Chain A
């Protein structure tokens, strides 16, 4: 009996230990072969299956729409764009392996993705070695572009970063909701949520009456919620992704916790409403990159129509960000006059007043776009308010 249990533990440990395939040994760049080809190969390294598959699939749609538009109008400098789409299974190690594969085997000139911060960071060593520029459409973690005060040379993003979101939400709570007492319920297993927590706490000047933590894949939050229920607070700050956030919102509202709940762009997925239930989605606020109600530029309407025509639905933030990412590469390639990875990288760094559907943006020296954010408020699962918040 004892032996079997011991054996089992050993096997469990081994099984988990085996879960991480080596990050891929990409390196030797032989892109010269693709330089003279008549297409421009852009890689997509996206979460097409796994825990956050919803993000990846939406970005794939957005990117495909942009590429279809560009190719229809004759491509970039007369060359058509060819997308090389790979699934990283929402796994950080897999994301690194995909990046190695895209840069060494597929010889892409640029990469879009992954959608999440952890996966985006995991691919940095491989793309840096291969000197291929990357735009992550929605990786908001600050340390993606700047690590230990050093700007990552080949990494850019199309979205704002976590520290910015945390600041916006703290200000929104204080200014728009006039709230003074916060409860923080934060995911401790993702860099994304940790970054959001830190910047919120640094900005919020009111009291934080409780600071609770949870892990990704948790399903039962009743213990935490029971604990905070009788405390005196004005709102819950909930940095996390939609799966857990949906469950927390559902369980909180069912227990009679009616205070507003604030979250970041990890909320912006319809699965959040599916899991939480429409009736429970009241007083939910989150930062978004894009809202139809608060169009950031004239291009938005044209984008919404085109998207609706192709997919028969309304575009989401993730659709819009990936769409913008493709156009950012287009502008960089046009300015560079060639699809050479190094030249594209240089042009991206000096991108100025780029007119995207998620707003007008210029790259700052840290490779983060300076742009406005939208805070969306939900009532019965429907978008009720959308306030543009300029940096």
Chain B
């Protein structure tokens, strides 16, 4: 078994999970909500990419930008319509709404465009680069570099911009942040916009990678990315990225060892072990909740 090759396979898959996990973790960090509709935004991102490339024959970067913009707007819209009215309600109410939104988007997509799998337009001529130790395809390189670029960009936004500062402030204490003159609603909308655009990028990249998209494609990766976020410590941005990569690599290695059929079970089992040993996740700090 070529371990380096398997690592590359795992990293390509993992970077998509990481992109998705970032959205989960940011939204959770700021309003303590598990946004279950996140996987569906990823799916919509892939479909926007599909229509944009088919209709206008655009290359990858404009496709990514358009898809990310549309999904950012969609994310803000979902927050505004579905989650904002429930912000003062119990967490479980918001959670169930999120699950509802997820099913709603799936059903609407199936109703309007059908449940069929579609081939994603191949806008990149794929070639393999043989690097002796392993071969890496052009698309794998694009996936890795795009996601790492986006992650660094996100880290810059959170660390060094005013909006980033506001996000961090709101995540610590929304009421205090409001008293200091931060517009909490804008900050939350901004968080949804960024998270959704990352998911959209993941969707387009996965469409390109596998060449097959369908309205149910967001379900499994959405759940895996959620696991990745919890795994790395939900609410912690580097944790989500790390969790994504780790889950991708674990999945690939489990398949490589010949247990493909039990792949998901192994991922869940590892999650449970991590939660038992370190409930706050890999990068999480143990914070005692105040009563």
Asked if B211 contacts A277 (CB within 8 A), the reply is yes
CB-defined interface of A185-219 with B at 8 Å, one 1/0 digit per residue? Answer: 00011000000000000000000000011110111
CB-defined interface of B200-228 with A at 8 Å, one 1/0 digit per residue? Answer: 00000010001110000100100100100
- Interface window among B116-124, B174-182, B189-197: B116-124
- Interface window among A46-54, A295-303, A322-330: A46-54
B residues near A51, Cβ cutoff 8 Å: 115
Chain A contact residues: helix, strand, loop or mixed: helix
- Interface window among A2-10, A70-78, A144-152: A2-10
Asked if A254 contacts B110 (CB within 8 A), the reply is no
How distant is the Cα of A20 from the Cα of B2 in the complex, in angstroms?
A: 41
Kindly state whether residue B54 has any CB partner on chain A within 8 Å. no
Asked if B260 contacts A224 (CB within 8 A), the reply is yes
Asked if B34 contacts A4 (CB within 8 A), the reply is yes
Given contacts A4-B34, A53-B114, A188-B261, contact A226 B212 (CB under 8 A): no
Most buried by B among A223, A224, A227, A271: A223
Asked if B9 contacts A1 (CB within 8 A), the reply is no
Kindly state whether residue A383 has any CB partner on chain B within 8 Å. no
A247 touches which of B10, B122, B210 (Cβ 8 Å): B210
B258 touches which of A49, A212, A246 (Cβ 8 Å): A212
B residues near A218, Cβ cutoff 8 Å: 260
Asked if A275 contacts B261 (CB within 8 A), the reply is no
Given contacts A215-B260, A226-B256, contact A255 B211 (CB under 8 A): no
- Closest beta carbon of chain A to B212's beta carbon, Å: 5
A220 touches which of B126, B252, B280 (Cβ 8 Å): B252
Asked if A49 contacts B110 (CB within 8 A), the reply is yes
Given contacts A12-B223, A49-B115, contact A214 B5 (CB under 8 A): no
CB-defined interface of B247-283 with A at 8 Å, one 1/0 digit per residue? Answer: 0000111111010110100000000000100011000
Asked if B279 contacts A226 (CB within 8 A), the reply is no
B residues near A188, Cβ cutoff 8 Å: 261
A223 touches which of B6, B114, B212, B234 (Cβ 8 Å): B6
Asked if B119 contacts A274 (CB within 8 A), the reply is yes
Can you list 28 A-B contacts with CB-CB less than 8 angstroms, sorted by A residue number? A1-B234, A4-B34, A5-B230, A5-B275, A7-B95, A8-B34, A11-B95, A11-B99, A50-B115, A188-B261, A189-B261, A212-B258, A214-B261, A215-B261, A219-B210, A220-B210, A223-B10, A223-B256, A224-B256, A227-B1, A227-B256, A247-B212, A250-B210, A271-B116, A271-B117, A274-B118, A277-B119, A277-B122
List the interface of chain B (C-beta within 8 A of A).
1-2, 5-6, 9-10, 12-13, 34, 91-92, 95, 99, 110, 114-119, 122, 126, 128, 135, 137, 206, 210-212, 217, 220, 223, 226, 230, 234, 251-256, 258, 260-261, 263, 275, 279-280, 289
List the interface of chain A (C-beta within 8 A of B).
1-2, 4-5, 7-8, 11-12, 15, 49-51, 53-54, 90, 188-189, 212-215, 217-224, 226-227, 229-230, 243, 246-247, 250, 254-256, 271, 274-277
For the complex of A and B, the 9 pairs showing the least CB-CB separation, nearest first, are A223-B255, A274-B119, A222-B9, A223-B256, A223-B252, A226-B5, A49-B115, A275-B212, A188-B261
